[in-house]
Amino acid sequence: MNTNNLWKMNSWNKKFGELQIIKFIRQKFPKRRKEILKGIGDDAMVLRNGYVVTTDSFFENIHFDVRYFSMSALGHHCMAASLSDLAAMGASPICALVSLHLTKTLTIKDIEQLHTGFEKITKKYGMDIAGGDVVTSPAFGVTITVIGYTKNPLMRSGAKPGQALFVTNFLGLAEVGRTALKMNLPKKEYPDAIGKHLYPIPRIFEAQSIKKFATACIDTSDGLSTDAYHLAEESRVKIVIDAEHIPIHPEVGRFCSTNNIESLQCILSSGEDFELLFTAYKLPRMKGTKVFRIGRVMKGQGLYLSVRGKTKRIEPSGYEHSI
């Protein structure tokens, strides 16, 4: 993939479009202001004074479905997803600015309940909602800007050959939960997965322990392959994911086998788990947080998958190149 491909596409296309457009913007707008420590190319922008800022948008029928999202759960989900970017930087949240994109069919009760969701999660992290915008929109959505602070930001760019790749908890659960809800599968069969999709937990507290020994970090919002690819790109290293080391949550395993999907493929391409994917030389004991070692950092570039002793180069989408 290179940015020239951008010009070969006639229309905006989700599958390859997002990464290409971000590359294009990054080239067009290089970092010039001295106040900025890190601009485009990480989970959040970092100011030299320690403030970390990031913005995320969510739209109905693209990012959430109100058939199974209560407005309160939606408020939680969107704020959690936004906060996850602060967690990935090792930053503690201070406040959010919320832009509400409201369609005319929404009721006042909807708006009130959405804010009940915001209230619960912002309270948990001791943060304010300190601004935003309210506009009429043809499509219901929200854009959340969160501001946090850290003395030592954890970048995507610090991975070094010889380090290992770690992830908190299980991957693929959120996508299984989303699919279970969409397919109207029995909820009691997928409690963790459904909970993960509706109420993801940004790893704000865990990040404070992890940053003591982590060298690079990203949150798993786009799927393991895309997120690991970003780490490799930004750190200018090669990352090898050891397929056999990826933990499979029972609900992901059951869902995949029932639906004849390879669970590895599911985990590589399924996003929105909002776990922390990070590199470190070794892993100290961490109280109360599951952390799995799932790969290695090596000299070179690109993302590789090692399955049963064979190593193949893979693309951010999880797509395997034939070798």
Question: Which residues within the stretch 134-173 sit at the binding site for a copy of itself (CB under 8 A)?
Answer: 134-139, 141, 143, 145, 147, 149
**Residues 134/184, Cβ–Cβ less than 8 Å:** no
Contact 114, 71 (CB under 8 A): yes
How many residues in the chain? 323
Answer for the pair 34, 62: CB distance below 8 angstroms, yes or no: no
Q: With the C-alpha atoms ordered 218, 219, 221, 224, is the resulting torsion angle positive or negative?
A: positive
Residue 2 touches a copy of itself, criterion: CB under 8 A: no
Residue choice 70, 99, 289, 311 for contact with a copy of itself (CB under 8 A): 99
95 part of the interface to a copy of itself, by CB under 8 A = yes
Q: Is 4 among the residues that bind a copy of itself (CB under 8 A)? A: no
Structure tokens at 140: 């219901």
CB 75 to a copy of itself: min, Å: 11
Instruction: Closer to a copy of itself by CB, 141 or 172: give it.
Output: 141
Residue 292 burial (CB count, 10 A): 17
Is 120 strand, coil or helix? helix
Q: Of residues 29-48, which lie at the interface with a copy of itself (CB under 8 A)?
A: 29, 31-33, 35-36, 39-40, 44-45, 47
Contacts of 69 (CB under 8 A, 6+ apart): 77, 198
Nearer to a copy of itself by C-beta: 12 or 281? 12
- Cβ atoms of 320 and 249 within 8 Å: the answer is no
Residue found by looking up tokens 């930053």 in the block: 91
130 binds a copy of itself (CB under 8 A): yes
Residue for token pair 């865990």: 206
* From candidates 16, 68, 113, 129, binder to a copy of itself by CB under 8 A: 129
Query: Shortest Cβ distance from residue 65 to a copy of itself (Å)?
Result: 12
By CB under 8 A, tell whether 233 contacts a copy of itself. Answer: no
Q: Which stretch binds a copy of itself (CB under 8 A): 20-28, 166-174, 196-204, 266-274?
A: 20-28
Packed helices 191-198 and 71-88: angle between N→C axes, nearest 10 degrees? 80
Q: Is 192 in the site for a copy of itself (CB under 8 A)?
A: no
Q: Three-class SS of residue 269?
A: helix
CB nearer to a copy of itself: pick between 94 and 297: 94
Among 69, 77, 64, 177, which residue's Cα sits nearest to residue 120?
A: 77
Residue from 16, 68, 111, 160 in contact with a copy of itself (CB under 8 A): 111
The correct pick among 55, 265, 289, 311 for binding a copy of itself (CB under 8 A) is 55
Site for a copy of itself in 57-76 (CB under 8 A): 57-63
Please tell me the count of residues contacting a copy of itself according to CB under 8 A.
79
Q: Cα–Cα–Cα angle for 160, 53, 13, nearest 5°?
A: 80
Quote the least distance from Cβ 32 to a copy of itself, whole Å: 5
Supply the minimum distance, in Å, between the C-beta of residue 150 and a copy of itself. Answer: 13
